[in-house]
Chains A and B, each alone.
Chain A
């Protein structure tokens, strides 16, 4: 039997399995599964819908105050000299002063005074707030939102000069106690206020000058005490009070009337925490007592920029979590399906360098996920912002002008894409380690999604830990509320201890570490 056997020669081009070809192969594997593409499209649409739902759900800024400002949670924050919303509530011991002059005082003590300030049976914080303040202030009036300049000692942040709510300059880093008092001086000359500090009352250090244009001839000058809501992890948001002891108070120049009077500026407290007050229970107003040249002043509240009770825009963008869940599910299937069907053996026969296969899969997954996150965020951001505005929310409930092209808007949109891309890389690694879809999806959910939920549901101390050390740190990239060094902010308000990009870096470290483990296992184990 003679038969000719013609040897088969593949027409394929010989040579290396270039990484480009590998990428193309992996991309083909992804795009040819209709269910995945459908899931991804539905997920993007679902996430958009969910973002819009969140931005209108429960939005209760629908009222308007007589001044035309939106009322959120029943309280319209006052507006400062620049029109910005401010917190302005403190106890003020003052007298009017005409023209140029100065006021000097020695602060000998600053302590927690919450007991006695709050009604009985209200849980109180016994720690002096780091940003409790006692010092001197010159203000145009005792109305909330008035222009002012102040120099003060704080409990943990040394001497500060602050003016017009948003400006804050650090002075000597001292704390006052029975053994170390601090002298403060605030001098006025025309529109200019200058703050000084001194340890002994003779050698003065200039801290800063503030120009308050249009400062009237007649101002209110005196001593103030304020203590902001607790920022302690286990008592976040609780009302607090502080007492300051002032000695040797003296006015120079200008014409005071010689009589010190006490005024509670703002309500007893700007925003009583519902969780801590029974109906009818309200903090008592501040108070002061004078004996000779010594004043003991108790006050509560804060003078500074207003921070909204939560991050309205950032919370709306949490709708992206729907797309994130679908993306990690599809990406987990993208790698585990190969193991279930045995396709992985074909894949590894075709490209024996397994690390490159893993890299190609990670790149395809990351690019796809980045595109989904980017597109979804780019559509969701302007829409949610508009919807929030239609519910009367406006900055400062989020950063002014967080439109698409602003720095914040770009950060949110690009960052959301990056967050999705990192989640995809992490999930590919988890899938390569777990090799089974149930295990991979569960693990990816627990690592990527669960920390985000824990961040919102755990008590403050645990929530801050979650925000620092788990992938939830990455969510800071969607944060839209302003940060001020002079206002303590905590997790339940939507503040992140890490900067947005550093938070994304923490997430990237998780992805890198998992990829390393996956790479090592892939080389060791049989497919």
Chain B
């Protein structure tokens, strides 16, 4: 009996208390989704940031495709073209994280959160509605960014020397690892958004949330580079949300990766889940 009751079935079920509660919970959720969607839709800035995220992702990917070249007469080419063509995620994620932070912190900055929570006293529902909508819009933006990067790669990579003659097949989603890299990158950006939302809900302040998310993301690649030990380098690359999550883009040399692609994405998911849990606890226990 755990299905969603149809609206017209409502009166027949009204006598059953448990289901009525469930029903109103779903109604709450629908209302929360509607309210959050309206706020998101009309706030304006989010769309510019999301469009920026798509643009930055595709642009950085295209630049990377053209500056990194394959010249076997100088040096044998070992590049991972799927990963190379998705380089833009490295920059695009900044704007995705900011969109995610603003999705809740803007309400704290303006005091809107008090109105929101007065209208929707079930804070968990509000939080879930925000998360669901955020994932939905980030999915769309990420799919556009990843798709655009692949299209750019398909055109630019052969010009940079990544040709069949040099042993590089054209980028194609028919190739299972490439498809995994693409789909995984979309999931990666969605998880980054959840990480940002969770941290922003826990910190309740735009500036500190943005700084924390960006610091957390980019600190691990830096740590991995400056440690004097190969063991520690691999540890950082296996536990950092960004390096571990981006393992999903690898299609070559999987046997030497510090962490396997899906496991890596799992590590990022754990970070995101931890941040969401922290945010949820703060939202539930603190005065708004």
Contact = CB atoms under 8 A, between A and B. Distances in A.
Interface string A420-462: 0000000000000000011011100110011011001101001
Contact of A442 (B67, B210, B221): B210
B98 interface: yes
B210 A441 contact: yes
A85 to B, nearest CB: 16
A124 interface: yes
B211 A326 contact: yes
B232 A58 contact: yes
B222 A437 contact: no
Given A441-B206, A442-B98, A445-B214, A312 B222 contact: no
B97 to A, nearest CB: 9
Contact of B225 (A60, A322, A456): A456
A89 interface: no
B84 to A, nearest CB: 11
Contacts of A54: 223, 226-227
Contacts of A198: none
Interface string A452-482: 1100110100100000000000000000000
A437 B200 CA distance: 13
Interface string A43-58: 0000000000010011
B10 interface: no
A453 B75 contact: no
B98 A58 contact: no
Contact of B75 (A123, A325, A340): A123
Contacts of A328: 211
B76 A58 contact: no
B160 interface: no
B218 A58 contact: no
Interface stretch (A150-158, A329-337, A500-508): A329-337
B102 to A, nearest CB: 6
B215 interface: yes
Contact of B218 (A234, A310, A332, A450): A450
B233 A123 contact: no
B226 A318 contact: yes
A245 to B, nearest CB: 24
Judged by DSSP, the binding face of B is helix
A441 B227 contact: no
B188 to A, nearest CB: 17
A336 B95 CA distance: 19
B226 A60 contact: no
B222 A318 contact: yes
A59 interface: yes
A321 interface: yes
B206 to A, nearest CB: 5
Given A123-B76, A340-B109, A453 B207 contact: no
Nearest to A337: B207
Contacts of B94: 442, 445-446
Contacts of B230: 274
Given A340-B109, A453-B218, A438 B207 contact: yes
Interface in B176-226: 206-208, 210-211, 214-215, 218-219, 221-223, 225-226
A175 interface: no
Contact of B227 (A58, A336, A438, A442): A58
Nearest to A126: B74
B228 interface: yes
A97 interface: no
Nearest to B218: A453
Contact of B210 (A315, A438, A456): A438
Interface string B5-47: 0000000000000000000000000000000000000000000
Contacts of A347: none
B222 A456 contact: yes
A449 B101 contact: no
Interface in A173-216: none
B207 A452 contact: no
B222 A235 contact: no
Contacts of A125: 75
Contact of A59 (B74, B211, B225, B228): B228
Most buried by A among B73, B78, B223, B226: B226
Nearest to B102: A438
15 contacts: A54-B223, A57-B227, A58-B231, A123-B78, A274-B230, A310-B226, A438-B206, A438-B210, A440-B207, A442-B94, A445-B94, A445-B214, A456-B226, A457-B222, A457-B225
Given A73-B228, A329-B211, A450-B218, 19 more contacts: A39-B208, A54-B227, A58-B228, A58-B231, A125-B75, A126-B74, A315-B228, A322-B215, A325-B211, A332-B207, A333-B207, A438-B98, A438-B105, A438-B210, A441-B211, A442-B94, A453-B221, A456-B221, A457-B225
- Of all A-B residue pairs in the complex, the 6 with the closest CB atoms, nearest first, are A58-B229, A58-B227, A58-B232, A456-B225, A329-B211, A315-B226
